[in-house]
Amino acid sequence: MVSRTEVLVVGAGVVGAAIAHAVAARGRKVHVIEQNTPASAVSGASLACIGTHMMDEDELPLLKWSCDAWAALAARSPTFEYRRCGQIRFIAQADEFASARHWTEMETRHGLRPVLVEPDEVRRIEPLLQGAILGATWSPDDAVVNPFLAVRTLLALARAGGASVESGTTVTALRSGDKGVSGVETSRGRIEAEHVVIAGGPWTARLAATAGVHLPIVPRKAQCLATVSRPPSIRTVVGACKAEGGVDAGYTQIQQAGSGQILFNTVLEGGTSGAGNPDRIDEVDRIFVRDSVATLLRLFPSLAKVELLRSWVRFEAVTPDDRFVIGPAGPDGLLIAAGDGGTGFIRAPAIGRLIADFIAQAEPAFRTDIYSPARFQPAAGHA
């Protein structure tokens, strides 16, 4: 077992793996500790679409860089089924056109290539999408990755850069003194570290609290359904173009995995996205199944006879403003990277880069104030 390292990363989800990769690439000695196995929490349960979705303009430089970073990684290490399939965000009601136009114009200003398309064009792109829609936005550069393979690839690259990964060990507390963080206590003993990065998803707040850092990161139930495998039929990622954007607005995501299974999660009014316990894997709600199947069949009526195979639920980490917490917090040497709000795959490479910048005390590659832990702790004085 490792007893000393320069940078200790807690959590081997996609965020922890991307951080390990980015920090090891800068020549630092990195050790990753995962309480279970890599990608065993929400990262392995993800639909892992890489696109800018419908985010704030403030976030677009980071998101665009991150999407490009995934594409570059796939070109270099084609081991995680990166597929540039594009994303359709369908417009179901007339009042959604205004926001569709808004997002299209905004993303275009940032060098992205979304376009507004008529229903006929939607059906040319996605022939099976025969349900009644008024139009859509089409983002041809959006992609999907295999979430398990993506995490595994990032960790393999981190290891190639000298990092080590320890599974089945829980970090139980942070250790700090006058000079800041000095390491962690784990279920297998003490490890000294100059920097500790908590990328622990919904478990992050609990661990940060052991160093007196209180973060409003709470778990939110995220559910998904999968059909039996069928021949290739859905070509793209199909999402809803909601005026408010985001999961709570009624987010839909439908896609066909490389295995042939159709994966879909549609959060409609009445569906559940309330706080849960990250340690407990609950049952998928019946109402979620009913509403999700109804949405799938409304859009893709020809799938009526396709059988459901399985469902799953995990817990995403969310913050009050739905933005990640990225950066230093509390004692010197402690960094946080959590609060994914349902978009951690897209952002992971950029988060890795930012954390590597913080550790190197380099000029951060992106604007950091909007992600700063200090926004929830004004007295802490970190920016």
Ligand X SMILES: Cc1cc2nc3c(=O)[nH]c(=O)nc-3n(C[C@H](O)[C@H](O)[C@H](O)COP(=O)(O)OP(=O)(O)OC[C@H]3O[C@@H](n4cnc5c(N)ncnc54)[C@H](O)[C@@H]3O)c2cc1C
The reply to whether 143 sits near ligand X by the rule CB under 6 A is: no
Strand partners, 252: 266
| Angle value at C-alpha 48, between 45 and 52, nearest 5 degrees | 145
The reply to whether 12 sits near ligand X by the rule CB under 6 A is: yes
Round to whole Å and give the CA distance between 348 and 66. Answer: 7
DSSP-derived letter for residue 285 is P
Size of the site for ligand X (CB under 6 A): 40
The contacts of residue 39 (CB under 8 Å, 6+ apart) are 12, 13, 14, 17, 147, 148, 151, 152
Give the shortest CB-201-to-ligand X separation in angstroms: 2
Q: Which of 203, 288, 371, 376 binds ligand X (CB under 6 A)?
A: 203
C-alpha pair distances (Å), 295 with each of 47, 116, 225, 301: 17, 22, 12, 10
Q: Which of 62, 73, 193, 199 binds ligand X (CB under 6 A)?
A: 199
Residue pair 217/319 in contact (Cβ under 8 Å)? The answer is yes
Stretch 158-197: interaction string toward ligand X, x if CB under 6 A: ------------xx--------------------------
Q: Hey, is 189 helix, strand or coil?
A: strand
Give the shortest CB-381-to-ligand X separation in angstroms: 26
The token duo for 378 is 């004004």
Q: Which of 14, 91, 215, 218 binds ligand X (CB under 6 A)?
A: 14
The reply to whether 373 sits near ligand X by the rule CB under 6 A is: no
- Report the site for ligand X in 219-238 (rule: CB under 6 A): 222, 224
Which one, 169 or 378, has the nearer CB to ligand X? 169
Residue pair 137/115 in contact (Cβ under 8 Å)? The answer is yes
The reply to whether 11 sits near ligand X by the rule CB under 6 A is: yes
Give the shortest CB-138-to-ligand X separation in angstroms: 17
Round to whole Å and give the CA distance between 302 and 80. Answer: 30
Which one, 118 or 244, has the nearer CB to ligand X? 244
- Continuous H helices in the chain: 14-25, 60-76, 97-109, 119-125, 147-160, 204-208, 286-299, 344-360
The reply to whether 86 sits near ligand X by the rule CB under 6 A is: no
Interface region with ligand X, contact rule CB under 6 A, candidates 27-35, 57-65, 125-133, 326-334: 27-35
The reply to whether 69 sits near ligand X by the rule CB under 6 A is: no
Give the shortest CB-202-to-ligand X separation in angstroms: 6
The token duo for 153 is 């690839």
Torsion, CA 57, CA 58, CA 61, CA 66, rounded to 10: -100
Give the shortest CB-149-to-ligand X separation in angstroms: 14
Q: Which of 7, 8, 16, 156 binds ligand X (CB under 6 A)?
A: 16
Which residues are at the interface with ligand X (CB under 6 A)?
10-16, 33-36, 40-43, 45-49, 170-171, 199-201, 203, 207, 222, 224, 253, 265, 314, 316, 338, 340, 342-346
